[in-house]
Amino acid sequence: MSTTTLYYPLQGDDLDMTGNYGEPRPGYEHGGVDLNAAYGSAIYAAFGGTLTIQYDPGGGGFGVYVEAPDGTTARYWHMFNNDMSEAEARQALAMLGIHDGMQVSAGQVIGTVGHSGNAEGDHLHFSVYVDGETVDPGIFNYTTSTSQVDLTGIQAYAASVSGNDSYPQMLTTGSQGEQVSELQRLLAAAGFSPGTIDGIFGPQTAAAVRAFQSARGLNPDGVVGTSTAGALGLTLATGPYQGVPDTSPAAPPQYSGRGLTVCWRWLAGADSAARPGQPVDDGLRMASRFGPVRRLPVR
């Protein structure tokens, strides 16, 4: 586990992860994590650096990149909504004091949660890049104290992950083989029926995994990583690190939205959920929620 500590990019009491790092998506695998939050909730910089505004209408929608002096980059996607033009989004960010090329500090507000681009609900897509490749955000520690933010060791840690040949191989929808059969037997023995013991991780197995995770107080994401495997008594197979692209398929806009009103609401303080508030959990660690470490090359 890395000793690197980042600032948690969202605050509030009603946060939920709706997308895992590396999970299968139609035609690609997910290169970040999706954190559910109300439309207009403030997004905070995980670490300081140079900010760049980005627009990818078929993928991440409106977003920003923040690049630290060592080249480590965090990307924050799906701000605002698909009814806004790029010019309107930039105007909205300007109302928050955000513009291309500015220097930001850890914990500084850099945007607001939305659903622009290829999104199926209000959430933040958060990804971290080291040496041009995504790294599972779950390998880091998180804090809501800016004095604790520390990128020391991030380059060395990412390099060590990339050369790991004894890496836990998580099980998820689409996985097949004897280890899936063992997973199914363990689920059945624990009282969570996966259906036929056939070695295929299909919908019934995924539903059984989620039910087991919920019953054990784990994140019910349907993915068997180290935490879920440990709770079941399953030893995950190991192998070389598996990399997948951090890309998003094109998709037509799916939402009508609220224009610039989110910025006016945030600036006016009309929505307490969109303003800096009490910390979620000082020293929060995401790893138990996001599953095992994976590093994904950019294409």
Domain spans, the chain = 5-164+243-297, 170-236
> What does pTM read for this prediction?
0.59
pLDDT at 281: 30
pLDDT at 262: 32
pLDDT at 252: 29
Q: How many whole angstroms separate alpha carbon 262 and alpha carbon 40?
A: 5
Q: How many whole angstroms separate alpha carbon 113 and alpha carbon 124?
A: 6
Range in 8-17, 59-68, 128-137, 173-182 the model is least confident about: 8-17
Q: Which residues pair with 248 in a beta bridge?
A: none
Assign 168 a pLDDT band (cuts: 50, 70, 90): low
> At residue 183, does pLDDT exceed 90?
yes
Fold annotation for 5-164+243-297: Glucose Permease (Domain IIA) (2.70.70)
Assign 269 a pLDDT band (cuts: 50, 70, 90): very low
pLDDT at 254: 29
Structure tokens at 183: 């997973």
pLDDT at 58: 83
pLDDT at 239: 61
Q: Which helix (H) or strand (E) covers residue 130, if one does? A: strand 123-130
* Residue 135 identity (one-letter amino acid): V
Strand duo 16-19 + 33-36: pairing: antiparallel
Task: Tell the CATH superfamily of the 170-236 domain.
Answer: PGBD-like superfamily/PGBD (1.10.101.10)
Tell me which residue has tokens 């951090």: 246
> At residue 101, does pLDDT exceed 60?
yes
Assign 108 a pLDDT band (cuts: 50, 70, 90): very high
